[in-house]
A and B are shown apart, each in its own frame.
Chain A
Amino acid sequence: MKQKLISALLPVTALVLAGCTASPSATDYDKATADILKNSFQDRGIAKVDRLVQDEANRECAAADVAGKPIDEKVAKAIEAANMKTVKWPSDGKFLGDWKEGEKIAQSGRGLTWRDKADDANGGNCYNCHQISKEEISFGTLGPSLYNYGKLRGVTDPNAAASKAIVEYTWGKMYNARAYNACSQMPRAGHKGILNEKQMQHVMALLLDPASPVNK
């Protein structure tokens, strides 16, 4: 009975400690954690276990958090450079779409969970973390306020040469936030396929179009 029980459960920890006589090191704990992660999750719907495969950025940032120390400067720069390379500029050269659609995308938190379907339109999740328009009081504080985003940066005409730097930064940040901040908590909307090009253009308009309520 006991045999059956143990095999039915996940005796990862027992295996790891079997060979240890001295107290475990940080590396031992890291290995045990990796094994636990591997054994604890299963595919469900569109959410597959390969989502746990970490890229360089996630691995380094998590390690820094566990150590309680900020990430090494050189490593941070390398992560930012690597992520910058992933940024794809709009294929039609247009940075801004329709701010009304942008507001809908910012409000929506749908998509990519195991309850969603592969062809569902994903939302941007933006209001979960950010204040954006003045009217919407249900906003989170995990990210900085984006109210008056374009106005505060002096963008009166998004197509003018003077606005180019801000427009490109905003697109890049949305496409892959880690290109500017190695361990940013902001999801990489473009790079990870959360939002498509058209959706990103709409959110850009929400932030930068002088006609958008965000800049009123």
Chain B
Amino acid sequence: MKRHLLALTAVGAVLAQGQAWAQDATAEGIAKYREMLEDGNPAELFEMKGEELWAQKRGPKNATLEQCDLGLGPGVLKGAFVQMPRYFKDTGRVQDLESRLLTCMETLQGFNAEEIRKTPFRRGEMANLTALATYVAAQSKGMRFNLPQAHPQEKLMYEAGKRIFFTRGGTHDFSCASCHGADDKRIRLQDLPNLTKNPGDGIGFAAWPAYRVSNSQMWGMQLRLNDCFRQQRFPEPKFGSDATIALGVYMGVNAKTAESIVPAIKR
């Protein structure tokens, strides 16, 4: 009798281990697949497109974006992405990469910003904006995040971003923190970075814009946040709104010293 019990326990242990193995094997498989994808990241196609658009004379003013100031002076791209969002004197606002590029498309090239803001992602000028964001962000690849927090508005946006991060709402009472507020959690099999602190190099804020293989789409941070809010059952955030920028400041400041791997590749 005792031997039977022992045998059963052993079998039970192996079965339980079997499930753990199945999950480890799955995790390993996913990691291998990701490694293979890194070699040929289609994000580079968007980067190339953005590089083209940056130097191309476009819009009613028939001008390039080469004089666009992203915080380090007109046309200075290296290092700009890892210091955004930041305060801009000419607009009197804290702006992230995408809203700042939109400002430049309006002031330098004469595009209608309101129209672009209302254009769905991946269409028309909004698609060009994403390609530009990919290109500009790529110029800071390998550099570490170091958002400025000297200006009172930058500090305010950090505090607002923090509060918004924990704001619970929608039909499901979700906040950003519901998924991203603790270590070592996952939704289904997707690991969730803890965004209340530095989640590590190339993770969270340091991984967008990224190319999503599952739907063959290039996503900037604005689209990433838009889809988060959709799944949280919130109403839709307006493109480049203060709420989205405040969240960028909160995440970016928390990610200080994390290395940017943008443009990244995702499942």
- Bitwise, A111-143 to B at CB < 8 A (1) or not (0) is 011110000000001011100001001111110
Tell me whether B19 is interfacial, beta carbon within 8 Å.
yes
Chain B: CB-nearest residue to A52: B169
Tell me whether B114 is interfacial, beta carbon within 8 Å.
yes
- Bitwise, A26-53 to B at CB < 8 A (1) or not (0) is 0001101100110111111001110111
Q: Which segment of B34-42, B66-74, B241-249, B257-265 sits at the interface?
A: B241-249
Asked, given contacts A9-B93, A41-B238, A128-B188, whether A192 binds B171 with beta carbons under 8 Å apart, the answer is yes
- Bitwise, A1-28 to B at CB < 8 A (1) or not (0) is 1100110111111101100100110000
Query: How far, in Å, is A183 (CB) from chain B's closest CB?
Result: 9
Which of A8, A48, A113, A178 is the one whose CB lies under 8 Å from B230? Answer: A113
A-B contact count (CB 8 A): 178
Q: In whole angstroms, how far apart are the Cα atoms of A70 and B163 in the complex?
A: 16
Which of B19, B93, B167, B175 is the one whose CB lies under 8 Å from A134? Answer: B19
Chain A: CB-nearest residue to B236: A44
Q: In whole angstroms, how far apart are the Cα atoms of A8 and B24 in the complex?
A: 51
Which of B94, B233, B236 is the one whose CB lies under 8 Å from A42? Answer: B236
Asked, given contacts A10-B241, A140-B185, A192-B171, whether A2 binds B90 with beta carbons under 8 Å apart, the answer is yes
Q: Tell whether, in the assembled complex, residue A17 and residue B156 are in contact, meaning their CB atoms are under 8 Å apart.
A: yes
Question: In the assembled complex, which residues on chain B have CB atoms less than 8 Å from the CB atom of A23?
Answer: 152
Q: Tell whether, in the assembled complex, residue A36 and residue B242 are in contact, meaning their CB atoms are under 8 Å apart.
A: yes
Interface size range on A against B:
35 or more
Chain B: CB-nearest residue to A116: B233
Tell me whether B8 is interfacial, beta carbon within 8 Å.
no
Q: Tell whether, in the assembled complex, residue B188 and residue A36 are in contact, meaning their CB atoms are under 8 Å apart.
A: no
Tell me whether A91 is interfacial, beta carbon within 8 Å.
no
Chain B: CB-nearest residue to A125: B172
Which of B152, B163, B173, B181 is the one whose CB lies under 8 Å from A30? Answer: B163
Chain B: CB-nearest residue to A135: B19
Asked, given contacts A13-B94, A51-B234, A187-B173, whether A62 binds B187 with beta carbons under 8 Å apart, the answer is no
Size of the chain B interface, CB-CB below 8 angstroms: 58
Q: In whole angstroms, how far apart are the Cα atoms of A116 and B156 in the complex?
A: 35
Interface residues of B in 136-150 (CB under 8 A from A): none
Query: How far, in Å, is A70 (CB) from chain B's closest CB?
Result: 14
Which of B177, B187, B188, B235 is the one whose CB lies under 8 Å from A48? Answer: B235
Question: In the assembled complex, which residues on chain B have CB atoms less than 8 Å from the CB atom of A39?
Answer: 241-242
Tell me whether B160 is interfacial, beta carbon within 8 Å.
yes
Asked, given contacts A6-B92, A185-B178, whether A128 binds B187 with beta carbons under 8 Å apart, the answer is yes
Tell me whether B44 is interfacial, beta carbon within 8 Å.
no
Question: In the assembled complex, which residues on chain A have CB atoms less than 8 Å from the CB atom of B168?
Answer: 54, 58, 61-62
Which of A11, A32, A114 is the one whose CB lies under 8 Å from B236? Answer: A114
Tell me whether B170 is interfacial, beta carbon within 8 Å.
yes
Q: Tell whether, in the assembled complex, residue B235 and residue A137 are in contact, meaning their CB atoms are under 8 Å apart.
A: no
Q: Which residues in B have some Cβ–Cβ distance to A below 8 Å?
A: 19, 22-23, 26, 90-94, 103, 106-107, 113-114, 152-153, 155-157, 159-160, 162-164, 166-175, 177-179, 181, 184-189, 192, 230-231, 233-238, 241-244, 246
For the A-B complex with A23-B152, A142-B186 known, give 20 more contacts whose Cβ atoms are closer than 8 Å.
A5-B91, A5-B107, A10-B241, A12-B242, A32-B159, A33-B246, A36-B160, A37-B167, A40-B242, A41-B236, A43-B235, A65-B166, A65-B181, A140-B187, A142-B192, A178-B173, A187-B173, A187-B174, A188-B173, A192-B173
